Structure 1
Amino acid sequence: MSGLRVSEATIGHPGDSDVVHGVSLDVPLGGVDAVLGASGSGKSTLLLAIAGLLPLRSGEIAVGGEVVSSRRRTVPPERRGVGWVPQDASLFPHLSVAQNIAFGLPRGQRDPRGERVRSMLELVELTGFGDRSPADLSGGQAQRVALARALAPAPGIVLLDEPFSALDASLRVGLRRQIGRILRDAGATALLVTHDQEEAFAFADRVSVLRDGRLEQTGTAEELFARPRSAWLATFLGESTLVPARREGDAWATPFGRVPAAPGATDAERALLVVRPEQLKPYAAGTPITVDDVEYSGHDRLLLASVDGVPGTVLMRMPSAVAIERGAVMPVRIDGIPHAVPLP
């Protein structure tokens, strides 16, 4: 059964042109998915429509099998079974932690000392914090209270609007893991919206990538990274070099020599090979590259290089123990079978 289904949704803000164009996605019941996109891609607009805060211009949205948005019908936000975790927690400063959680419950059930609030505090590992003021919480604790408030009424889906972006990097990873575990322990259906590729990949079961309001591709992190459908997506999802290639039988002719073509690869005469920095390896009989710059990150060195026949910068990763200087010339080859994408 689907926890959330968005079908061919087109969305725009009042008095403005369309922002989201015919987007479809399906989050299974109990699934934790993500929508990934750069600023202005339409991901927040999509989230507002799912929450019932923006009407659809066409298409349909269903939560738990019930249609909550269409051209003819928009169920009010408070009646569509959607929980919301915002960027900054947005706790009520004049209410205690327990009262904030209870606020998410239906009227008549908002007992801050009731069993539901106690179970939510236990779920988010804040037992004993019920009487505290939000002002006494760390940023990570406040986000967990916001999650407890969203989960308290047992919504059909929980929407997470970049909930880690306001936190320090040192806290972000730990809280991301904790909230992911809480959602799965609760059996909740959830959709995270983020601009951070690492965050989306680590957090979600599946990721939908938006580009200029259109769905570029949906899949697991492994599927998206290994088999992007476009050159744009390949570079958006991680460091890579796009190498021009010409088909020669079961191989590609490239500036780095002949490279095997993957089974099922495009049969176009020309394509771009997505070469990740880890796929370039030193090789005595290889193609010489010139190292233009070196970025040291502790665990490795990223070489920014150039080579005839490849426009732009060639990226290559080396162990940090290997000292490489700017201006060095070294022969390399492509290791393995790179993924091919169509020419733009």
Structure 2
Amino acid sequence: MNTYSFPDEALAHLLQCAQEVPAVDLLPDAQAAINGFPHDARLRTMQAILHRACGQAEAALDASWKALVLSPKDEIVRQELLFCVSEQMGLAPTDGHDFSLESGERQTAPHIHNIRADHRARYAWAARLLRSHFRDSSRLTGLDAFCGNGYGSRMISNLTGSRVIGIDGSTEAVELAERHYGNHLVAFGQAVFPFELTPGLFDYAVSFESVEHVPDSEALLAQICRSTKGPVFLSVPNERALPHADFSAQFGFHCRHFTSEDICQFMSRLGFPYVLARAGQQVYQVQHQRLTGLLPESQMHLRPLTDNSQFIMLMFSREGGQAGGQTANPALPGALG
């Protein structure tokens, strides 16, 4: 095992050896270099690359986060962190979909307090349940799939102390997210679905107002579920209250809407058969099967889920238990509870 006088010397040695020596054999040298220069983000990033080359995704992610703490704005550090999640980060869309920030599909405000209340309420709900579900939520790493401009990822991190990686198809949204909501605990990457996520990398996953935006919603849910060991939080427009056939012109980016039973059936097939928490939400004024405006923000709070709820919020788990004082129920068709 080598000893080094300077971090540049250690990095140069590791880079040179990486051309010929298997990654697994270089990991002890990388750790020795970090022991000597623990505040060098480049060495920790190199360690992450070696772990990833060995198929050690969680170790690679941990090394990348430590590098990010040391150098929060380093693009190479952030990119390696994102490659731990998916090697399809940064690929350009090919289907002609409008991913521009001003397309009307996303919130665009650069400050959380300017985000519409219904969106903020969903993330606050998830954060509250995470704090009650885990003994120490600050030790968690979460996924925010289809994170938009990143406000929700930052909200959950602020409220739980956890690390969050947000993914969105819009390059412009991710750039705004990095500028205004990214820090040493929150990072963002651009990826267009379909993508493959590293299995079992996250402690929880959030995907709000997302699955209705893709034609193969179960395929998206399958990737989200395979990526997390812990609970999955979802919100979708309710087919019973907002039938897609009647409202599709006003929800131009939606491929379909869902009943609670639809989502529960999908999630049960994907290995998340329990609902730990549920809620409903009203957002729009409706007259004669048309949206006529938004409700006052004071009325956008979460409430008990019913067939008349315009939006459905569900927290799914692989195992039974309790969250927020609610006992888990099997995610089977039936009463909303």
Higher strand share: 1
Q: Structure 2-normalised TM-score? A: 0.29
Larger Cα-atom Rg = 1
Higher helix share: 2
